[in-house]
Amino acid sequence: MNPERDLHDAALSALLREHAAETPAASIDAAVRAAARRAIDRAPTDRAVTHARAQQAWRWWMPLAAAAVVGVIVIGVLPLAPSIVDDTPQRASDMPAESTRSMALTPAPAPPNAAPAQPIEGAAPAPAQKAATTAPRKNVEPPPPKVERARPPSPAQSQSRDAAGASTQGASNASPALPTFAPPPSVAAASPPRTDAPARADTEQRADAGTEVGRVTNGVPGPKAEMPTAERSKSATAASAAADMRARSIADWIARLRALRNAGDADEALRELRRYRAAFDDADARLPPDLAEWARSRR
């Protein structure tokens, strides 16, 4: 047995080739050749159409894709912008910055019981300061040259003075309803007495502004946060003193006056009495009989 011969028989193959006379018709040959030539002739057109379609797709999709990329970048970068600004290094220097220096030239609003801002040599006083200094005053004592720094009140103190401020609001119609911010008694004792009513109204508006500034700077740091620490503490002291004057109730005044009188501190008691009279128009009428008699002798 010969497997190779079984698989491929040369004689059989020769016989097949000998009888392999069948061929396609001439018409079929012509049709196939013509189709082949047509396909070649049509190819450039096909390529041009394909190229045009590709260009059209490019023309339509690329601007859209570019716009989408820009949008994604903007949406992604914008939330990061504040953090980028915050990353700028902070300068640590004893000298105030230019912006701080210019702020220092502009005097801060003077609270009613705080010392007037010390004018800087060569700097013209602000119009508001001029008005305050030229306003008519009666029973005005020269304010003390320095104001003791205010300490921030404890939460318990703030709560008690909130309640006191609420009662004071009913008694004094001239004082607007403001959040109370009362310093400890030592600060109140160091505060200068109030002047007359018009000046008080003016200074109260300034104190309001000062209180606002103090409240804001205690929270999120704003532009005023760049003020020097001394300026900030001065404003806070003045604001807290003004608030204390308004927030103190009649009972507080009476209790303090009585304590000073009983302690024999005549000078301090007199100063406190003047402040009390400056704070209320009908101050003497509200005093109890024992203090009213004492106050009449202290005119």
Q: How far is the CB of 21 from other proteins (least distance, A)?
A: 8
- Which stretch, 30-38, 86-94, 140-148, 199-207, contacts other proteins (CB under 8 A)? 30-38
Tell me if 201 sits within 8 A of 174, measured CB to CB: yes
Angle CA(223)–CA(225)–CA(228) in degrees, nearest 5? 120
* Gyration radius of the chain's alpha carbons: 47
Q: Which of 19, 91, 146, 299 binds other proteins (CB under 8 A)?
A: 19
Contact status: 285 vs other proteins (CB under 8 A) = no
- Which stretch, 29-37, 118-126, 230-238, 242-250, contacts other proteins (CB under 8 A)? 29-37
User: Quick one: 42 or 137, whose CB is closer to other proteins?
Assistant: 42
Contact status: 12 vs other proteins (CB under 8 A) = yes
Tell me if 179 sits within 8 A of 246, measured CB to CB: no
Tell me if 223 sits within 8 A of 213, measured CB to CB: no
Q: How far is the CB of 11 from other proteins (least distance, A)?
A: 5
- Total residues contacting other proteins by CB under 8 A comes to 32
Contact status: 26 vs other proteins (CB under 8 A) = no
Distance CA 3, CA 182 (A): 118
- Which stretch, 24-32, 101-109, 238-246, 256-264, contacts other proteins (CB under 8 A)? 24-32
Question: Which one-letter amino acid corresponds to residue 106?
Answer: T
Contact status: 53 vs other proteins (CB under 8 A) = no
Contact status: 6 vs other proteins (CB under 8 A) = yes
- Residue 4, phi-psi category: left (phi > 0), alpha (psi -120 to 50), beta (remainder): alpha
Token pair belonging to 146: 């320095």
Contact status: 299 vs other proteins (CB under 8 A) = no
Q: 């600060």: which residue's tokens?
A: 187
User: Quick one: 17 or 91, whose CB is closer to other proteins?
Assistant: 17
Contact status: 42 vs other proteins (CB under 8 A) = no
Contact status: 51 vs other proteins (CB under 8 A) = no
At 12, is the secondary structure helix, strand, or coil?
A: helix
Q: Which of 13, 99, 102, 218 binds other proteins (CB under 8 A)?
A: 13
Q: Shortest CA distance to 26 belongs to which of 17, 18, 34?
A: 34
User: Whole-angstrom distance between the N-terminal and C-terminal Cα of the chain?
Assistant: 151
Q: 């020769």: which residue's tokens?
A: 14
Contact status: 36 vs other proteins (CB under 8 A) = yes
User: Quick one: 20 or 78, whose CB is closer to other proteins?
Assistant: 20
User: Quick one: 31 or 225, whose CB is closer to other proteins?
Assistant: 31
| CA trace torsion 260, 262, 264, 267 (10° rounding) | 30
Residues that bind other proteins (CB under 8 A): 1, 3, 5-9, 11-16, 18-25, 28-29, 31-33, 35-37, 39-40, 43
